[in-house]
Each structure stands twice: as C-alpha cells, then as structure tokens.
Structure 1
C-alpha cells in the first residue's frame, strides 16, 4: 500500500493530472472490530479483573487529527464498564508534566534571577543537600530530571507523614549507590524535588499541583485531569485498582480472588502531596488524547494552535541525556536514552518517546512517534499483570497504525509474566540464633534519611512488648492474615509508605532475616475483613536485614531495597553498617543486651 501511494504521488508530480488529494495521506481507524476483539481476548486470556482504556491519535498530511478513544473490561468491582471517560492513576506518566512545568518556570522572564536548565539545585533550594558533596554542589535541573545524581530510588524512605520539604531534608542522609553523573538510576524523589520549585520561586508561593492545573490542564482543556483523589472520586468515574488475592504462581498464576484496592494517594486534595510530582496525576483516555496531540505538535493546543508549552521546552526534555538501557529488550527495539519524564528509542525502526507508569492498582503507557505523527495511550486498572498487558496492547496498536506485520507481543509478554520468580532458600532446619535474643532486637530504630520505625516481635510472643507492639501483635492475624508463621521468629513494623503498610522480618539464620513488604487491604467481608498483599515467603525478593552490635549500640542493616540502577554493585564492607544499603540504629544508642 505504501509503495502504491508513493507511485501515485510520483506520477502526479510529473503529469500534474492526478487529483492532489491522492498525495495527502489519510488514515483508517485503528480501533476496529478486529482490534476490539483482540483487546477483549487479551483481558480474557490474562483473566484480568480490570479493564483497559486506550487513546490513538494520528495527524494526516492535511494537518487534521484522527482521534480514537475507547474502553474495555471492568472499571470497578461492582462491574461498571471502562469507557473513554474512566479515570485512572497514570503513575510516572505524571513526570513529564512535572518537568514541562519546570520548563515553563525556566521560560518565565519575570523570575529574578532567571532559572536555567543548568541552574544548580544548591542555588535554588536553601535546604538542598546530598551525601556526596560533589553532587550536592554541582547537580543541576538536568541532572535531577535525567536521574544521574548518583542516588538510587530509596523508595522505602517515603512516608505519608512527610511533605516535600521534609523529603528534601532527608535526602542528604541517603547513601548514594553510584558516582555523580556516572549512571542512570531512577528516582521518584527527584521529581518530588522538582515539584517544589513553583512554591519556592513564584511570588504567589502557589502549590505545584495548582500551578500545573493553571498552566497546562486548564489551557489544554484537560477538564477531567486532576491531582486530587477527592475531585476524581466525586465524578463517579474513578476506576478501582483491581488486584488478585492468593495468586498461586505454580498452579494458576492468573487465578486468585479479585479485590478492589483503596486508592493509594488520598491526601492533599487539590494542593497535592508528597507523590504528586512523581506519580500523582489522575486522567482518562480523552484527556490523554489531547496531551498526545499537544506533545506531537511541540506544545501547541489542538484545534487552536495556541502555544501552551514552548517548543524549545518540549524539545529540551525530549532529548536524551542518560543511557537508560544500553541494550534492546527485543530485536525490534533499541537501546534507550532518557531526558526528562520519558525514554527515547526506536520501535521497529520508528523513533518513539514513551513512558510507563505504575502505582498500586494502575498501570499506564503513553507513547508518541514524532516522525509518524502518531500517539498511543493505554491505561489499565489491573494491578498484578497490567504492566505486561499495556505493552501487549501498545504493540498491537502501533503495528496496526504503522501498517506493519503484527508481532505476537501477547505470547512474548505472557512468557515473561510466567517466568517463575526465584525461589526462596529454605530456612536451615538447624538455623543458628542471632548474637542476642530476639527481644533485644525489638524497639524503635532510626535513620535520618528514612525516619523512625518500631520493630515488634510477633512470633514468639513477647509478654513485655510496648503498648503499640502489643496492639500490632494482637491485630496481626486480622489485618495481615497469613503473614506470620508461628514456628518462625517474625518481626513486624508499621511503615507509613505509599507502596506498602508494613515490613516483615523473618529469621533465616544467625543475624540474617528475610525482609518483605506487606500491604493490608480491606476485603469487604465481615468474616475476613482484611487480606494481605505481598510477602509470599516461598519466593525471594532479594531483600534482607542483618542485625549487629557496634560496641554497645544495636543496629539493623537493610539490603536489597534501595533501587540502584541496573548493574550497579551493592555496597561492600567488613561490618554490617558498611555493607548495608541503609543502616538503622536502635534508640537509645546505649543498650544492655544479652549475648547468646
């Protein structure tokens, strides 16, 4: 078809006799009955408890946009269907809005002194600081947006009780995993930092979320898009994040009981919260179609061509700075570079800028092919397999739109999903005890980059437990059913984190404990009011804790949690503190403990 089109245009050029319209490419719809059947089949094959919303936008040779939006599957546990207006949390696809909003500040000629992409964070934020003094002094907006400060994710450090200024204060105590500007290491924290800039720099001290609403959402008429859970909920269109309780990876990986998850980020209303800059936006297929057209038009509003985001800003954040992936995941893809808020590579020879987003209950993919004037957004409320499903559907939509032979992305990603997680090493039957008794390890621990937590001994029972630990031990069978095995010494701690509610330490051998994250969710069942997500002890997360004494000081080191970049080696050292990613000391420092 493409070669025939080219031949007609060539004849028209020489003969001037064919109608000019033959040389103006128009596009057939991508969301055909065949595509609908494919998407519904994917949802069925993965036994998805959720649904899908998609947006496809393409500009033809006459400059007209063909916009398609549609929904499939279940939006809520009550069986409401997904439509193009269903609202989803878009996760890290929020980051592009954050860095473009930063670009608007840079483009703001009224700021004095002017902000630049090369402005150093230390000159912008008085409380800015990092463990690495060179990074603290030299890091610029470009370094922060492209994830090359040397800091890993440190997602465990997030606490709902924090605000962004508190997060910035904590960052100077978080251990780096690489040298400054050495390697790409994804960090949600850095986009939380960027979200603080409008409040710091503008005379109005406007909250970041209201700044983005005024300068981007409102000007683009993205009327359904918001940072506010309460605003989204009030529409009646917010999807439930749908998870599966009790997945058995060995017998039936696509089984389990469908469960609706509470929305993960409810604080802050329209003033936002700690995670707004990194993952806070709620949107739908209709508004993301507007967003894709805007990005493909270098910041122009669809329909009016009004400049909402200056072209130099969109171009700056779209250019690669860091190498995100030095090798392609599949033969049809390419290595990836990262600028701000999106990765850049190729899809079957076509340049593509895209970003995935993942938060509890939701997974999204937003992709644009600038030289093809093509954009695709895929949103799902499938918590457990949504990250695979969106890739399957994105690939199918791109193949359809580009007129390419269709790759069986479905089989490829299903095979990845069915890859059995690594089995946990069984606890030795004759496991040795730690250097001290388990009761000595109970208590409050602190790390200035992470904050405090109270470690409670749940099994065996601790008769002298604090009031809060006694309450947790009493409630654990109800709020975290199945999380504690009575015959394995187990600690629990409440953890005020966006991604999980508790951590669990189960004794493995000697001073080493397996470390798991758990989430307690309501089950809407009076006989079993809660269910536990995460923490399957038969599989290994690779995270562990190691208890130690330094003189008369008790501490615990966590390893396998800080989210370093691919191939970045972990810390080494002769002591637990030196080889731990994060070291927590027990309060008070001076302890009377019993050596076994």
Structure 2
C-alpha cells in the first residue's frame, strides 16, 4: 500500500517536472488576451472592419487570430478569410525568378535561352532575354538593366502607375516602357516601380513555358501546401472565404482586381491568401527555404539570400540612434532596430492593407491582413507591439519600418485673388501622349457628347457650374487605379493646376446606394503645368493651349534635370515633366 502510494507520488512528481520542462521549451504565446484587447481597440480607433494575424515561432509553431468582420452583413473574419496581398505578392515573384534560374542551372528548363546567352542569373541583361520587347528611352539603361535592377527598383523609371489601363496585357505594358520617361540614371536612386514586376512576370512566363501564375502555383503554393492561396478572385470567393473590402472612411468597394485583370496584376500585387497559408510561407522563409515537415527545399538558400539582401538604399539614415538605414532587396525591404533585423514588405491597394515580415535572427514571422486601405500605420503599431512582446525590445521610437505605399505630398489649395485670367474653356480639349494614351478635358460648359456624359457623372458629386468649381476641368480616365480625374486651377500663374485621380461610384456600392468616390493612397495627385502660346487668336483671347505637363515630385524633377545636364542639354518645363500630354483637338 505504501509502495503504491509512493509510486503514485513519484509518477505525479515526474509528470510535473516533465510538464515544466516542456512548458519551458515552448515559445511564449504572443496572441494573449492582452494583445487581443489591443487589437480590438486598434481596429475600433483606426476604423478597420476586419483584421487577421499569423505568427511563426522559432520551432515552427504558429499562432493565428482574427478580429472584426469580413462582410457588410457582419460575418466575422476567421483565420481562413482570404485577402488580396497587394505588394506583399512581390516576394513570390522574386522567389519564383530565382527558382526559374535554378531550373536553368540544373538543366530542368523546358525552354531554351537565346543563342548568345549562356547564363541566366540575377546579372543577366533583360534585353538579352527579351530582345524584341525590352526598350527604354535611356539607351544605356536599355542595354544594361539586369534582373536584379528590375526587382530592386533601380531602373531609373518612376512609378508611372496611371499609364496602364486594365485591358492591357503584360506584353503591352512591357512594350509601353519605351514611351515612359525616366527620372534617374540606372542605379542612381531607388524608385519604386510596379511596371517592372509586371514585366518580370511576363519574362517568367516566356522562359518557364507556362503562365506566370501557374509557375508560382507549381513552384511555391503546392510544395508548401498553401491550398487556399490563389491569383483568382473568383476562386477565392467560391467558398465564401474572400473578404469584402472598404475604403479608409468605411465605404464598401468592389474587389479591385478581377479574373479578367489577373495576369496584369499578378506580379506586383495579385496573390490572394489567408493568415494560415501565409504562416506556411513564413515558416519556409525562416527555415532557409526548406519545408519543415517534408524537409524538401522549396526556395534555394542562395535565392533566399539574394532576394532578402539589400541592393538599394531606401533611406540613408535611421530615424533614431537605435535604427539602421533601410534598404531594399528584391521584393523585400530590410531595416534593423537595436541589432534586430526586420525583413518585410507592405502592401496597399483600394480595399486592402497588408504587411508580411520576419526577424531572421529571432526566428519570428508576422503577417497582418486588413480589409481596408491606408491602414499601414495601424499595422505597424501592431507589429511593434508583437516584437516588443516577443524579444523584449522597447521600440517606442521605431518609425523606420519602410512604407512602400507613400502618401501623396500635394494638397489642393485654391488661391484667392484675381484667379485664372485665361478662360477655362481654352484648356478643354483632346490630349495625347504615347505612354498615357488619349484624354479629353471638359470644362464646366463643354457641350460635346463625351463631355456631357462626363459632366453628368461629376454633377452627382460636384456642382460643376458653381463659382467654386468654375476653374475645374473634368475627364473620364479609366486606368488600373482610377475611373476619372479632376484638374483644378491653383495659381498663381494661369499654367498652374493640380490633377487628382479618383474613382467615382455614382450609385454607391453594396447596401449603401449613396454616391461616393475614393482615391488610391500614394500617387493620386500631381502638379500640372499647362503650356500656353501667346499670339493673336480668332476668339480675341490671344492665347493657345498646346499641352499640359505632369510634373512628378520635386526629387523626380531634379532627377530629370540632372539627366538633361549630363547629356549637355538645356531644359524647359516640357523636358523636366514626367509626361507631356499634347493637345490634338477640341473637346
């Protein structure tokens, strides 16, 4: 009896010790009740309808959480709810490019390189791989841009996000690069460019022999068992797992990408996934590209090193004594705080804000997915809280996590005083640029059938005949990111306007039929300078509007000036502009 009792006590003691050892070896749980309350407060104060979170620990264990709603009926988000990843998709492209290079190195390729190309790697020139399609305005860049340059955003070409239309194919985007002005010399400055990722996806399609989306699915999604990850919005919505999406101010909008535009958006921003699948992706990244369960290499270690190593400087100084400079690899940014490196990428399109990152030395992976745009700052607050809890860093002054969806720097200010001296009708007309296509600017009193339709639509939002709007021009401008634009005089000279891209919803959307409009965060505004020739005109006004120039930011204008000076050329506004729309007729 005593022996039995001692045995029971010994067994209980052993279980206690073992449980303590096991508990000691387990990573600290990060999704706690305290973090959950923090997130609930965050989504309430930041007006985020729904958010999901995935975490990966050093031993491969994962945590998932979901808060808020995924549709306007109030259905809760779950860890299986899918979101469009936006620019967090770029990491899948750079990894796929490396996998394709590895296929060629091992003789697994199904297509052949051009006869004069012996090696396909990060240093291979794009013109050698796509000789009939690749051409830039800068002849030197045409010859010298390599794969690494494309994917690390140092081609010298600024964003030009409003040049593509949704009906373009990747091939057409690639051909249009020759019509878009550069801002910097090759490798002079980091300059974010989605068009390069569209072109790179096309290159992968050409040399893999299959569509880019199929190559990623075969090379990454299937090997990592990312069974809910896709490039098809229709497929993601089939099981009611794709979240609905909202503007920053809470208006529901349609899913921004469709299956019809899938190929165009796939490279720079088209992956659709959830928190569960993204922790599988992060697990592989933290395990040097190896699938933890099958022990198979999905992303070769050399590829992972290449894409996460910084090749360009985004910010040359940290924001605090504890913060490093920030750099960009290929589809990944890199910064450190207090010696802890953070490799990450943000994503933002209308209706979605995303962030994926990992601390390689601390073996911690984080994915945050939100179903409204312009919520990057809130996601950073959450990530900083998680890192603080995980590694014990006081990161209250960490502000240098790169945002790759910059806010517009212009603010529309209509000037008081004498106002526009040239009648606004003189600016109305048809304009054209090789890179941007056709555009018809309509004055408030324009009478052409096209302008009557444009003004009818805008009249739902503005009193286009009011004194306040008498010096505003309007246009339909359907691109990947907009449906219309306004151009408003700001002075002091007659040439000075501000262009604002917008998407109009005259009948509302979803259950709310009230009209509204929304703009993409980042590049939605631009300074415009009209070119006016003085002279005797038949109307007696003595002026003729011949073009308008979209100027780009101050840094970009200075970059253009340096390019022209280095070529020994003088310059005018026409030369410094990012794009020049030439007048080709009346409205």
- Place the TM-score, normalised by the shorter chain, in its bin: 0.7 to 0.9
Q: Alignment partner of 2:204: what SS?
A: helix
Aligned to 1:545: 528
Contact preservation (8 Å) 2:56, 2:365: yes
1:163 matched to 2:169 = yes
In the alignment, the residues of structure 1 paired with residue 488 and residue 280 of structure 2 have an alpha-carbon distance, to the nearest angstrom, of: 49
Aligned to 1:532: 517
| Partner residue in 1 for 2:573 | 576
CA shift at 1:45, angstroms?
2.3
| CA shift digits 1:251-280 (9 cap, x unpaired) | xxxxxxx211111111437xx321210011
Q: Is the counterpart of residue 511 in structure 1 residue 495 in structure 2? A: yes
Query: Aligned ranges for residues 147-162 of structure 1 at < 5 Å?
Result: 147-162=153-168
What does residue range 53-452 of structure 1 map to in structure 2 within 5 Å? Answer: 53-60=52-59, 65-108=60-103, 109-111=107-109, 112-113=112-113, 114-125=119-130, 126-202=132-208, 204=209, 206-245=210-249, 258-268=250-260, 272-384=262-374, 386-405=375-394, 407=396, 424-434=412-422, 437-452=423-438
In 2: Cα distance, 1:483 partner to 1:208 partner? 46
Q: Which runs of 5+ in 1 are unaligned?
A: 1-17, 246-257, 414-418
Distance 1:66 1:400 in 2: 17
Partner Cα distance (1:321, 1:576) in 2: 33
Instruction: Show the counterpart of 1:42.
Output: 42
Q: Distance in 1 between matches of 2:101 and 2:438?
A: 37
CA 92–534 in structure 1, closer or farther in 2 if over 3 Å, else same: closer
Q: CA deviation at 1:314?
A: 0.9
Q: Does 1:455 align with 2:460?
A: no
CA distance in 2, matches of 1:116, 1:494: 43
Q: CA offsets, 1:524-573, max 9 Å, x none?
A: 4899542122499xxx97622222246988211112369959x8577897
For the residues of structure 1 that align with 2:555 and 2:80, how far apart are their CA atoms?
A: 35
1:26 aligns with 2:26: yes
Correspondent of 1:520 among 493, 496, 504: 504
Q: CA deviation at 1:489?
A: 2.1
> What do residues 215-251 of structure 1 show as CA deviations (whole Å, max 9, x unaligned)?
1111111011111111112121211222255xxxxxx
2:291–2:298: 8 Å Cα contact kept in structure 1?
yes
Offset of residue 424 of structure 1: 3.8
Q: Please give the secondary structure, in 2, of the residue aligned with 1:394.
A: helix
> Contact 1:55 / 1:69 at 8 angstroms: preserved in 2?
yes
What is the deviation of 1:484? Answer: 4.3
Change in CA separation of 1:117 and 1:526 when aligned onto 2, cut-off 3 Å: closer
C-alpha contact 1:324 1:336 (8 A) present in aligned 2: yes
Contact 1:553 1:585 in 2 (8 A): no
Structure-2-length-normalised TM-score: 0.84
Q: CA deviation at 1:23?
A: 12
Distance, in Å, in 1 between the alignment partners of 2:520 and 2:353 is 21
Aligned residues of 2:246 and 2:350 also touching (Cα < 8 A): no
Measured after TM superposition, the shift of residue 440 of structure 1 is 4.1
Structure 1 residues 372 and 357: CA distance shift in structure 2, 3 A:
same
Deviation at 1:343, TM superposition (A): 0.8
| Contact 1:195-1:277 within 8 A present in 2 as well | yes
CA distance in 1 between counterparts of 2:381 and 2:192 reads: 24
* TM-score with structure 1 setting the length: 0.82
Pairwise CA distance, 1:57: 0.4
Q: Contact between 2:68 and 2:76, CA under 8 Å: does it hold in 1? A: yes
Q: Which moved more, 1:316-325 or 1:567-576?
A: 567-576
1:586 is aligned to: 583
Tell me, yes or no, if the aligned pair for 1:546 and 1:556 is still in contact at 8 Å: yes
Give 1:497's aligned residue: 479
- Taking structure 1 as reference, are residues 298 and 420 closer, same or farther at Cα in structure 2, changes over 3 Å only? closer
CA distance in 1, matches of 2:268, 2:246: 22
**Structure 1 residue 453: Cα displacement:** 1.9
Cα separation, 1, equivalents of 2:23 and 2:515: 62
- Cα gap change, 1:493/1:148 in structure 2, threshold over 3 Å: closer, same or farther? same
> Separation in 2 of the partners of 1:348 and 1:337?
16
Aligned to 2:264, the other structure's residue is in SS state: coil
Q: Distance in 1 between matches of 2:411 and 2:578?
A: 23
The Cα of 1:388 is off from its aligned counterpart by: 0.8
C-alpha distance in 1 between matches for 2:302 and 2:166? 36
Alignment partners' CA distance in 2, 1:279 and 1:561 = 24
> Retained in 2: the 8 A contact 1:154–1:561?
no
CA deviations on 1:192-230 (whole Å, 9 max, x unpaired) are: 11100232113x3x1111111111111111011111111
Equivalent residue number for residue 458 of structure 2: 476
Q: Secondary structure at the match of 1:29?
A: coil
Q: Is the 8 Å Cα contact of residues 516 and 535 (structure 1) preserved in structure 2? A: no
Name structure 2 gaps, 5 residues minimum: 1-17, 114-118, 402-406, 535-543, 565-569
CA spacing shift, 1:57–1:541, aligned 2, 3 Å:
closer
2:334–2:341 contact (8 Å) kept in structure 1: yes
Is this contact kept in 1: 2:502–2:524, CA < 8 A? no
8 Å CA contact 1:146–1:340 kept in 2: the answer is yes
Q: Is the 8 A contact 1:553 1:586 kept in 2?
A: yes
Partner Cα separation in structure 1 for residue 552 and residue 241 of structure 2: 38
In structure 2, the CA distance between the partners of 1:443 and 1:225, relative to structure 1 (3 Å rule), is: same
Counterpart-to-counterpart distance in 2, 1:135 and 1:421: 29
